[in-house]
Amino acid sequence: MVLKLTFLFCCLLPLVITVSSMAGGDDSSAGLGIGFSPMPDGFLLVQFLSPDGPAQKAGVKVNDRLVAIEGRDIRTIRQDQLTLITRGAPGSKVKLLVQSPMEQPREVTVTRAKVTPPVAAGGPDQPARPPAANIPPENPLDPKPASLPRGVQKFHQVSLKDPAVKQIEALRFLVPDGWTAEGKIDWYPTMMQTTQIQLRIADAKSKVSIQFLPGQNFTSFVPPMPVADWSNQNGKIFLSRPITDPVAFVQAFWMPRELQHLRTGRLVNQTRLPKLEAELMRQFAGPGQAIANRLRYEYSGENNQPWEEDVTFGLIFSGQQVVSWQVGACTSVRAPKGQIDAQQAAIAAVLASFEFNPEWSATVYYTRQGWLNVIRESINQDIAMGRIQQQYLNEIHALGQQIQQDRWAHEDKIAESRREVLGGVETYHDAYTDRNFYMPAGAKGYWTNNKGEFLVTDQAAYDPNAGSTIEWKRMDRRDPMAR
């Protein structure tokens, strides 16, 4: 088992766009003072900036995603064309469309100038090693953090904050080093699915990409008067007939938007997930039926190479004359053919690690309750979400504490349930935080430090404390069902 996923520039082939003298140009050419590397989705990631260079002065930040140049989608521009566009006479201007993690794209105007090439963190003869997409710059844990031996993989925690709720942390999860994570939370106060998490976790090396797919609540019934399909009926999407077939659901709900590329793909495997069905029904806590599947598609990806995508989700149905149904546990994993299976241990660890902040969950709950009160009492339809949150501020805090206590009380049982549902992970205890984490199963050593980072190794004799500047502690295997 080889689990080394250290972020290496030689794998990303970064394009450095600075002054023309770096390439032997004349004095009439100037640049932007910016370095990019390609992302799996075709956009460019800002890896480093020349100090006080044109791009930095214009407001471009490290970890921004370059979306367009002079109104042209960056994905349609070849590397040789990109150099011609970004270089020009000193004082000339170029418009960039950039996007910071979890923010809307913004346009900046950069004035070309002579710039000093950026010096790498490891010295002038070594490439710089900036952080991943929306992960804060890391403090090196060891003098040579990139020198992990073969068969060792490092994980760290990433959190997603919600600007709509005073920037509190909504959820956190584990990401392997070298992978990027970017996302945001969209609010829909007039829907039963009050929030939609837009999140994408990707590895530029293997091109594995994990994506959350939007869920939704639906209703199907015979209306007394004509009602349009896909319309909002009291917070649920109306359909004249429920879609019980998982393949048909993907075609109707996700292929028109999030999964357009699968329209030309083909279904190669369909796996029923009875453990996920049982978990969904446990959470639903009512009479009904659950159908959970993992659908694998094949399609033509980059450079017409074969790609694969696993779409995993569950459908829950209840009622007879009026059928209420919903889709949940919706994730998509795509990669070049063979990479999903090769990276299954890391993928399972990421998917098993998600934890939601109880206070944020309470905010979502009360916002939804506020909307239901609007429906029941027919009060002002334009009531603001912030007003609902303020009204229930004390209750949110109290409920958040209760949720936290309940989570602690049942954490072990929940961990076991998730492990059984997802597979490929095992529970290990972090002595620093006194919490359990889901790690890739089958390794021979699991270590953690007080910075919230983890090492997974297939070498039983490996000891990260040898030559380290900080203390690593071995994680103990825990059986959540043991009493």
Q: Can you point out the beta strands (E) in 39-134?
A: 44-49, 65-69, 72-73, 93-99, 106-111
The verdict on residue 435 lying in a domain is yes
158: enclosing H helix or E strand: strand 152-162
Do residues 162 and 74 share a domain? no
**pLDDT one-digit tens code per residue, 319-376:** 887 788 888 888 999 999 999 999 988 998 898 888 888 778 777 777 766 655 655 5
pLDDT at 136: 36
Domain end: 314, 342, 370, which one? 342
Closest by Cα among 9, 2, 81, 73 to 41: 73
Quick check: is 223 in a domain? yes
Q: 358 and 435 share a domain?
A: yes
Question: How far is it, in rounded angstroms, from Cα 348 to Cα 424?
Answer: 6
For residues 159 and 174, give the distance between their C-alpha atoms in angstroms, rounded to a whole number. 9
Number of residues written out for the chain: 483
Q: Kindly state whether residue 1 falls inside one of the protein's structural domains.
A: no
DSSP-assigned letter for residue 434 = T
- Enumerate residue ranges in the chain where pLDDT < 70: 1-29, 37-42, 78-81, 83-84, 102, 116-147, 368-423, 480-483
Give me the sign of the Cα torsion angle 37, 209, 339, 42: negative
Residue where a domain stops, chosen among 111, 141, 172: 111
CA 138, 143, 147 angle in degrees (round to 5)?
90
Q: Parallel, antiparallel, or unpaired: how do β-strands 236-238 and 216-220 relate? A: parallel
- The answer to whether the beta carbons of residues 313 and 328 sit under 8 Å apart is yes
Statement to judge: residues 165 and 247 lie in one domain: no
In 3-state terms, what secondary structure has residue 268?
strand
Q: For residue 170, what is the enclosing H or E element?
A: strand 168-176
| Strand runs labelled E in 273-384 | 289-300, 306-318, 323-336, 355-356
- Which residues form the domain of 417? 132-186+353-380+393-483
Strands (E), 60-215: 65-69, 72-73, 93-99, 106-111, 152-162, 168-176, 179-187, 195-203, 209-212
Per the structure block, which two tokens stand in for 318? 């209840």
Partners of 209 in the beta sheet?
202, 334
Are 153 and 89 members of one domain?
no
Same domain, 364 and 464: yes
Is residue 121 included in any domain, yes or no? no
Count the neighbouring beta carbons within 10 Å of the beta carbon of residue 32: 28
Q: How far apart are CA 118 and CA 116, in angstroms?
A: 6
The model's pLDDT over 222-265, given as tens digits with 9 standing for 90+, comes to 887 888 888 888 788 899 889 999 999 999 999 998 899 999 99
The answer to whether residues 453 and 401 belong to one domain is: yes
Dihedral sign for Cα 410, 412, 416, 421, please: positive
Indicate the residue type of 1.
Answer: M
Give dist(CA 298, CA 318) in Å, integer. Answer: 33
The domain tally of the chain equals 3
**Residues 337 and 362 placed together within one structural domain of the fold:** no
Residue 385 lies in a domain: no
CB atoms near residue 115 (< 10 Å): 24
Same domain, 102 and 144: no
Give a yes or no: residue 388 inside a domain: no
Pick the closest to residue 359 from 405, 398, 387 (CA basis): 398
- Are 15 and 50 contained in the same domain? yes
CA–CA distance, 331 with 102 (Å, rounded to integer) = 19
The phi, psi pair for 108, rounded to 5°, reads -125, 150
Could you tell me if residue 118 is inside a domain? no
> Quick one: which H or E segment has residue 11?
helix 9-12
Asked whether residue 204 is assigned to any structural domain, the reply reads no
DSSP-assigned letter for residue 88: B
Per-residue pLDDT tens over the stretch 124-142: 333 333 333 333 333 333 3
Same domain, 465 and 359: yes
Q: What are phi and psi of 165, to 5 degrees?
A: -125, 60
- What is the H or E stretch that residue 171 is in? strand 168-176
Per-residue confidence (pLDDT) for residue 150, from 0 to 100: 79
Q: Burial letters for 436-454: b for 16+ Cβ neighbours within 10 Å, e otherwise?
A: bbbbbbebebbbbbeebbb
Are residues 374 and 476 part of one domain? yes
Tell me phi and psi for residue 287, to 5 degrees.
Answer: -70, 140
- Secondary structure (3-state) at 8: coil
pTM value > 0.85: no
pLDDT of residue 395: 52
Same domain, 41 and 151: no
